[in-house]
Chain A
């Protein structure tokens, strides 16, 4: 099972390298969003708490324009039939999860670097923020991959994603914003443990449910 998942990941990675469509458009999206945030903040000194909230907003919307592409791509090029023939459904989902995780991690690191450069946010507890960042990525990917699979079968693909993803991501975002705020404010890592536990268990639950339900989406 693991081998063909990696194979799917490599296929997606190669086709991404060839066009670099998803990465480039995401990069532009991130630059534009951070520029708008910078313009609206002006030269004012903004609270770290507000800034770390804004950071997760940028992450959420860039995820909504980037991570939803994985399954839509297959439908548009009509390659999903070939995938269906050659592998079984858990393998497809696992491969897409790996690809989405790589893409999301890459783009979020870019967001993080740009965000620090543009707004000058000060993070006092770096290790706590790094763990939040990592767990947040995992959760975001687990939710957005299964939602992407659902919308790839629907008609209005572009606008549907944020509508469907927001209610599912809301608990995650609340916890992320809280943990980000606390770690930026310099709270020690032990006190963030309950947030980490919630983020992790949420990700696990969503991933397991996706593996159970994915066959109903994938069959046609």
Chain B
């Protein structure tokens, strides 16, 4: 990673931290200042979904090529994705405690979908830790991830829009009837700028952490090989 990239990440996310709390926001009825959670919670959840997609694609490529590099990439993306998934879930669940009065609302589709994502990530990492041989570990966990992924698009993209829920964009959302995109109607232009900047910033942060993680993993494998020789 180039130095300017890191500095750019720092500047963007610091800016998001400051602007996210300081810019005047349109008061969405019933939310008030709590709507600022949007700048952090939504990008984090999105990064988790993107990371999941990445590790899925790398798993397929691993099974096609049997190149260990893809396996390293797949499980590093899954680990960092789990981190962001937990962050997105925690920011959401605290918010839900305040606004909906409960930490876990089970008939809320988006909450179910992020819970499912978290469970799949965790099960995937547990499966990896229970196999010793490198090659077998890569093969089996890739197969598991692909099977587990079958329902994820349905859970992330379709279910929250089709079923009634409390998140914006649900089927019974009065402000965007027909289950439109989440960001369409509820933000003014300043909020939108901060929101998109935050999304870019979090994705860049993810790429950086992921890069460090892959390099550490490669160093570990190299060292293990040297010891074995």
Point out residues on A near B: beta carbons under 8 Å: 146-147, 150, 153-156, 160, 163-164, 166-168, 170-171, 174, 202, 205-206, 209-210, 213, 216-217, 220
Contact = CB atoms under 8 A, between A and B. Distances in A.
B164 to A, nearest CB: 14
B96 interface: no
Contacts of B148: 167-168
Contacts of B147: 146-147, 168, 206, 209-210, 213
Nearest to B144: A150
Given A202-B151, A216-B63, A216-B139, A167 B127 contact: no
B150 A164 contact: no
A156 B119 contact: no
B116 interface: yes
A96 to B, nearest CB: 16
Contacts of A209: 146-147, 150
B155 A171 contact: yes
A160 B119 contact: no
A209 B143 CA distance: 10
A194 to B, nearest CB: 11
Contacts of A220: 136
A153 B144 contact: no
Nearest to B106: A174
A216 B123 CA distance: 19
A156 B131 CA distance: 8
A164 B30 CA distance: 40
Contact of A217 (B112, B143, B150): B143
Given A166-B119, A167-B148, 7 more contacts: A150-B127, A150-B140, A153-B140, A166-B123, A167-B116, A167-B123, A170-B119
Interface in B119-166: 119-120, 122-123, 126-127, 130-132, 136, 139-140, 142-144, 146-148, 150-151, 154-155
Contacts of A170: 116, 119, 151
A168 B143 contact: no
12 contacts: A146-B147, A147-B147, A150-B140, A153-B140, A155-B131, A160-B130, A163-B126, A164-B144, A168-B147, A168-B150, A216-B139, A216-B143
A131 B193 CA distance: 51
Contacts of B122: 163
A154 B123 CA distance: 13
A150 B131 CA distance: 11
Interface string B60-98: 000100000000000000000000000000000000000
A160 B126 contact: yes
A168 B151 contact: yes
Contacts of A160: 126-127, 130
A25 to B, nearest CB: 23
A170 B159 CA distance: 14
Given A153-B131, A155-B132, A213 B146 contact: yes
Nearest to A169: B151
A59 B140 CA distance: 26
Given A150-B143, A216-B142, A171 B151 contact: yes
A153 B135 CA distance: 12
A209 to B, nearest CB: 6
Contacts of B116: 167, 170-171
| Pairs of residues from A and B, 4 with the lowest C-beta to C-beta distance, nearest first | A167-B119, A167-B120, A171-B151, A154-B130
A199 B151 CA distance: 12
B133 to A, nearest CB: 9
A139 B229 CA distance: 48
B217 to A, nearest CB: 21
Contacts of B142: 216
Contacts of A153: 131, 136, 140
A212 B148 CA distance: 14
Contacts of B112: 174
Contacts of A156: 130
Contacts of B151: 168, 170-171, 202
